[in-house]
Amino acid sequence: MNIDYLCPIDDTVIAHLMVQSEQTLGYQISIHSTQNGVPDLEGIQIAILGVNEGRNSIDNEDTGQGISEIRKQLYKLFPGSWVSKIADLGNIQQGNTVEDTYFAVSDLLSSLLKKNIIPIIIGGGHDLTYANYRAYDSLEQTVNIVSIDNKFDFGSIQDGVTSQSYLSSIVMEKPNNLFNFSNIGYQTFFNPQEEIDLISDLFFDAYRLGEVVNKIEIVEPILRDADIVSIDISAVRNSEAPANNNATPNGFYGEDLCKIARYAGISDKVTSFGIYEFNYKLDNKTQTSQLIAQAIWYFIEGVNCRTNDYPFGTREQYQKFIVPLEDEVLNFYKSNKSGRWWMELNFDNNKYRRHSLIPCTYQDYLNANEKEIPDRWYKTLKKII
C-alpha cells in the first residue's frame, strides 16, 4: 500500500477526542496521526478514508473539505459490542489533476480490498464512485454497484467524469467490469425519461423514493447483492441534511439512511462503502456531519452482525425449495442462520458464476408459486445471455 497518498488526521480532531470519554469509538480506532504515523493494518477489518477532492462536484463547491467535522462526530459515539478492528487512515489530498486523485483513490482502495479490508470513504464528490469502481479492476471480477441518490448520474459521456455523469463512464469505458447497477431513491422529476428508459434497457434496477420509504425493507436484497454502496447525501431531504448545495425538500429521512447503511453492513458481499457530497460550509449546527457519522456507525454495526451465509458454505445450512414453472424450474434457498432467501440461476458461463445466486425475499418465493417470475431473476438472466 502506497502510504505517500495519505495525510494524517487534523490535530484538532485528536484534541477533540481527548476530551471525550475513553469508552467512545475514537479510542477504539487506530488513527493515522502526525505523532504516530500510519497505523499497522495487521488484523484490521475496516478502514476509514477521507478524500479532499471536489473539483468535479457539480454546483456543490467545498465538498471534500471539512471532513474533520464528520470525524469529530463519529469519534464521540459509543461503539456496540463489536469485534471488528478499525483504522482511520487519514485523507487523500487533491492531486495536481482530478485524474491524479482518482488514481490515488483507486490504487489505495485496491490495496485495501486485496487485504480483505472494507474501506469507508467519506467526503468528496459523488464522482469518486468511479475511482472506487476502478479499484476492482485488479481483482478481475464483475462488480455490482448500488447508488443511493435522487438522480441516476448518467449525464453524457462527453461530460467526462463528474458527480452527475460518472455512470456513463462506468458503463462505457473499458475494462468494463460492471455487472449490475441499482439506484435506490430516485425522484422521477430529476431524471429525463430517456435515462429512466435506459436503466430499463440495460436491465438495471431502480427504486423510486416513495416506493422505498413506504417499505424500506425491500432494499435489503438489493444491498445484499452489492459490492460497492455509494451514497450521495443529497438523497436525504434538506431539513435532515442541509450540508449540500443540491439538497432538496424531498428525500430520505435520517433514520431511513441509517437503515440503508445497516442493510449494507450486514451484506456479506459489500466490500466498500462511501458517503459523498458533504459541504461543511452549509452544515447548520453540525446536523449533516452528525447524520453521516451515525450512518457510518450503523454500517459498522451491520458488518459486526454479518452471518457469513453468502455465498454458500455447505448445502446443509440451507433449505431448498423447488418451484416448477412452464419452461423453467426455479430453485430457492433459505438460510438456516439468518432466514434470508436466494434464488438460483443455472448457467455455464464461469465469468458470471458469482452472480448465480440472487438475493430475494420470501415474497419472491410466494410469487413464483403463483407462476410469476421474479423481476430480478429475469433481469439477471438477460444480462448473461
Q: Rounded to whole angstroms, how far apart are CA atoms 212 and 207?
A: 7
Q: Quote the domain boundaries for residue 144.
A: 3-303
Residue 238 grid cell: 434538506
The angle subtended at Cα 285 by Cα 282 and Cα 289, nearest 5°, is 70
What's the pLDDT tens digit per position in 60-89?
A: 989 999 999 999 999 999 999 999 999 999
Asked if residue 376 belongs to a domain, the reply is yes
Asked if residue 176 belongs to a domain, the reply is yes
- Please indicate, yes or no, whether residues 237 and 260 belong to a single structural domain of this protein: yes
Which pLDDT does position 92 carry in this prediction?
Answer: 97
Q: How many CA atoms lie within 13 A of 102 on its CB side?
A: 19
- Please indicate, yes or no, whether residues 330 and 226 belong to a single structural domain of this protein: no
Find residue 382's DSSP bridge partners: none
Which pLDDT does position 316 carry in this prediction?
Answer: 76
Please check the confidence at residue 241 and state whether its pLDDT lies above 80: yes
Per DSSP, the three-state class of 80 is: coil
When computed from its CA atoms, the radius of gyration of the chain, rounded to whole angstroms, is 20
Asked if residue 223 belongs to a domain, the reply is yes
Please check the confidence at residue 317 and state whether its pLDDT lies above 90: no
- Please indicate, yes or no, whether residues 276 and 171 belong to a single structural domain of this protein: yes
**Alpha carbon of 28 to those of 82, 92, 355, 378: distances in Å?**
10, 22, 36, 45
Q: Rounded to whole angstroms, how far apart are CA atoms 275 and 28?
A: 22
Percent of the chain residues past pLDDT 90, beyond the cut: 86
Asked if residue 202 belongs to a domain, the reply is yes
- Please indicate, yes or no, whether residues 63 and 121 belong to a single structural domain of this protein: yes
- Please indicate, yes or no, whether residues 363 and 267 belong to a single structural domain of this protein: no
Which pLDDT does position 323 carry in this prediction?
Answer: 95
- Please indicate, yes or no, whether residues 141 and 271 belong to a single structural domain of this protein: yes
Asked if residue 132 belongs to a domain, the reply is yes
Residue 120 binned pLDDT confidence (cut-offs 50, 70, 90): very high
Which pLDDT does position 40 carry in this prediction?
Answer: 95
Please check the confidence at residue 348 and state whether its pLDDT lies above 70: no
- Please indicate, yes or no, whether residues 16 and 101 belong to a single structural domain of this protein: yes
Please report, for the domain that includes residue 290, its CATH number: 3.40.800.10
- pTM for the complete prediction? 0.96
- Please indicate, yes or no, whether residues 152 and 288 belong to a single structural domain of this protein: yes
How many domains would you assign to the chain?
2
Domain final residue, candidates 283, 303, 323: 303
Asked if residue 308 belongs to a domain, the reply is no
Which range, of 72-86, 315-329, 361-375, averages the lowest pLDDT?
Answer: 315-329
Please report, in angstroms and rounded to a whole number, the separation of the first and last CA atoms in the chain. Answer: 38
Mean pLDDT of the chain: 94
- Burial level of 284, CB count in 10 A (0-12/13-18/19+)? exposed
Please check the confidence at residue 312 and state whether its pLDDT lies above 80: no
- Please indicate, yes or no, whether residues 107 and 214 belong to a single structural domain of this protein: yes
Peptide bond between residue 175 and the one before it cis (omega within 30 degrees of 0): yes
Domain final residue, candidates 272, 303, 334: 303
Asked if residue 310 belongs to a domain, the reply is no
Mean pLDDT in residue range 104-117? 97
Asked if residue 370 belongs to a domain, the reply is yes
- Please indicate, yes or no, whether residues 293 and 364 belong to a single structural domain of this protein: no
Which pLDDT does position 123 carry in this prediction?
Answer: 85
Domain final residue, candidates 257, 276, 303: 303
Mean pLDDT in residue range 188-213? 96
- Please indicate, yes or no, whether residues 100 and 136 belong to a single structural domain of this protein: yes
What's the pLDDT tens digit per position in 5-27?
A: 999 999 999 999 999 999 999 99
- Please indicate, yes or no, whether residues 126 and 264 belong to a single structural domain of this protein: yes
**Alpha carbon of 119 to those of 17, 51, 54, 74, 115: distances in Å?**
22, 12, 19, 15, 11
What's the pLDDT tens digit per position in 143-153?
A: 999 999 999 99
